[in-house]
Structure 1
Amino acid sequence: MMDTTFREVSSDPRTTQLPLSHLSLELGHLYMDDFAAGPGRLREQFARVKPWADAARAAATRTGGRRPRISTCFLIDDYFTRFSSPAEVLPQVLAEAAECGLVIDYLARESACAEVGAVRPARLAEARLVQSPPLGSNGSRPPATEVGWLSNGERSPSDQPGEAMQAAAGWQPPREIEARRHSVFLDVELWDEHEGRRTWSCPFLAAVWQLLRLGLLRDQGQEVLAPVPREETFPASWDSLPPLVRLNPAADPFAAYRTCSVLASRFLPIEHAVRVILAQWSPEESVLRQIAERAEREGLTMPDDVTDRINYVFHAPS
């Protein structure tokens, strides 16, 4: 007897293969205050990034005997503040980077981590959050997707009175779930809402940014953020600029097996929050398996933990 199973094509989406570099090297972020400080601020930042970027390139040599594929990227904040225009900002950024011996392959708008056309990358990432329950948790704490807060442990108990005739529990410290003797507890705000409009937090968008660079975030198996070749001139408005622009036609792929971000030390608290978020994020098994198989064919070993694929260099201000 022949056993036949009928399945709708839409119920089994195909996981698209993405081209991958060995390393995605981030050369920094640009916010309004950086731009307002003038070209000298940009030049100073790129000068500080250059030696660390060179060191990251030199370290990316374990590629199975092949030439290391390394792409560089740069992120501009057009989500929390809109300043100037691409036509004015981007030529300055590229000129100052080149002056310091750096080539930016890809330029991304931070708003792309929240919305790319009809796709909502932040919502896709939020849907795969799996909170780590603290020891002894009774499920009374609302999920992060309801309250917009995610921690790496157990919060201090509320000071509100308990049931009648029940003795006050007294103050208790927060506890990190996987503390090494002493806790480093962190409670991260993922988003807030005002008049029905949600605004994603900087740490959550930064976590989405890492997932996009690692090629781990998909929309029904499909690519979320596809690079668009740059045009001869940059547009006058940020909305007219593609979410991800390939500035260098000869660039290696945007997504990579691993990432490294060279950032000013002021970003350290943000990236700590990113790691708390991604430690409680569940990748799609088909995507993980696909990347692991490709890495194996290249003679590479991929860590199972997503956070172990992410590296940083933090440099101090002048």
Structure 2
Amino acid sequence: MTEAVFRETAAQPRTQAVPLSHLSLELGHLYMEDFEAGPRRLREHFAQVRPWAEAARAAAAVRTGGRRPRISTCFLIDDYFTRFSSPAELVPLLLAEAERAGLAVDYLARESGCAVTGKVPVAEAVAGRLVEEPPPGSYGGRPPAAQTGWLANGERSPVARAPQAMKSAAAWEPPRQTAARRHSVFLDVELWSEDADGRRTWSCPFLAAVWQLGRLGLLRTEGEPLFVPHPDTPAVLPDDWDDLPPLLRLNARADPFAAYRTCSVLPSRFLPVEHAVRVILDQTEVDRGALEQVAERSAREKVTVPDSVADRVSYVFYAGP
């Protein structure tokens, strides 16, 4: 005898899928001081980016076995830590200099959207998914990252304490990377800071980690995808950054924003930040439904996607000002 099992639909949250490219190619992630330096700085940047962007495209074609890879390009503007000028002034300048170098920007994003998108506190939601890797031999002596705002890739040096009577002081010990190869490269990442009133400012590495998760199509809230591109470029760009959508599609014929893999072409000064991004991604519990959808789709397309989310992210760092 077969028994029917009834479940409420609401008790089974559905993870909505997102369209995926093979590669999300980031053509820049510059700060306001770069824009303040004028068109020449942007010209230098895109001139450096172009050959590496072409190499990333060629590598994507190899991974798809010669089939035309779906590749979308994006550019991230820092409007979170500083505000300079306006979208009406900067966006046309950015697009003109990219075009001068023979590059096209498909999607434009604001870094503040990595903190809050619409009414969704994205960064806070990702912070709630941090799962710290306990170093071997540790006994939970250090406060969790959710409390301190610091995340490490190993065991910190113990804090020196004054010895008790009749006892000698503990010897100094070096920090240790959890997955070290012979020698440690220990990193301790500040995720946020707080002011006297408890208002939180997210760090650049943490927002960059959120940005990578968005580009990989792995951000969800109650099953709904985040970082959904606004479909139309405003006829008149606004004067205030808050009036510009967090993610804007500039090219109506662009391949999907999210992708199986990402590649970012950045100035070398971003290398420490992106090292921190990997530490964060390695210790973030990503939405399981989103991961399963990517795995199922990549299997159907016969596209190899690394199991590790951090290994889906790649970079080119160029030496520059």
Question: How would you bin the TM-score normalised by the shorter chain?
Answer: over 0.9
Alignment partner of 2:236 out of 233, 237, 242? 233
TM-score normalised over the length of structure 2: 0.96
Deviations 1:60-109 (A, max 9, x none): 11225532100000000000001100000000000000000000000000
In the TM superposition, 1:181-260 aligns within 5 A as: 181-194=182-195, 195-228=197-230, 229-260=232-263
- 1:305 is paired with a residue whose SS is coil
* Residue of structure 1 aligned with 2:293, choices 275, 287, 290: 290
Question: What SS does the aligned partner of 1:60 have?
Answer: helix
1:124–1:217 contact (8 Å) kept in structure 2: no
Counterparts of 1:102 and 1:5, CA distance in 2: 56
Query: In structure 1, the residue corresponding to 2:97 is in which secondary structure?
Result: helix
Contact 1:292-1:301 within 8 A present in 2 as well: no
The question of whether the paired residues in 1 share the 8 Å contact of 2:27 and 2:53 is answered with yes
CA distance in 1: counterparts of 2:48 and 2:208, whole angstroms = 21
Question: Partner of 1:34 in structure 2?
Answer: 34
- Whichever residue aligns with residue 251 of structure 1, its letter is A
- Using the alignment, how far apart are the partners of 2:242 and 2:95 within structure 1? 20
User: Helix, strand or coil: the match of 1:199?
Assistant: strand
* Deviations 1:248-271 (CA, angstroms, capped at 9, x unpaired): 111000000000000000000000
Alpha-carbon deviation of 1:2? 5.7
Give CA deviations for 1:167-206 in whole Å, capped at 9, x if unaligned. 3112111010111111100000000111120000000000
Structure 1 stretch 75-84 or stretch 158-167: which is displaced more? 158-167
User: How many angstroms does 1:129 deviate by?
Assistant: 0.9
Matching residue of 1:115: 116
**Take 2:180 and 2:53, find their aligned partners in 1: how far apart are those partners?**
32
Post-superposition offset of 1:121: 1.3
CA distance in 1, matches of 2:57, 2:27: 12
The equivalent residue for 2:47 is 47
| Paired residues of 2:161 and 2:169 also in contact (CA < 8 A) | no
Q: How does 1:1-318 map to 2 (within 5 A)?
A: 3-61=3-61, 62-63=63-64, 66-161=67-162, 164-194=165-195, 195-228=197-230, 229-317=232-320
Q: Which stretch of the first structure deviates more once superposed, 267-276 or 285-294? A: 285-294
Give, in whole Å, the separation in 2 of the partners of 1:116 and 1:151.
Answer: 27
Output the CA distance in 1 between the equivalents of 2:255 and 2:211: 18
Whether the aligned pair in 2 keeps the contact of 1:49 and 1:262 (CA below 8 Å) is: yes
Distance 1:162 1:219 in 2: 49
More deviation in 122-131 or 142-151? 122-131
Contact 1:64-1:298 at 8 Å conserved across structures: no
Counterpart AA for 1:237: D
Q: CA 1:165–1:118 in structure 2 vs 1: closer, same or farther (change >3 Å)?
A: farther
Percent of paired sites with the same residue = 66
The answer to whether the Cα contact below 8 Å between 2:193 and 2:203 also exists between their aligned partners in 1 is yes
Deviation string, structure 1 residues 201-236 (Cα, Å, up to 9, x no partner): 000000000000000111111111111121222111
Residues 60 and 68, structure 1, Cα contact 8 Å, conserved in 2: yes
1:291 corresponds to which letter in structure 2?
A: V
Task: Indicate if the aligned counterparts of 2:25 and 2:74 stay in contact, CA closer than 8 A.
Answer: yes
TM-score of the aligned structures, taking structure 1 as reference length: 0.97
> Is there any run of 5+ residues in structure 2 with no aligned partner, and where?
none
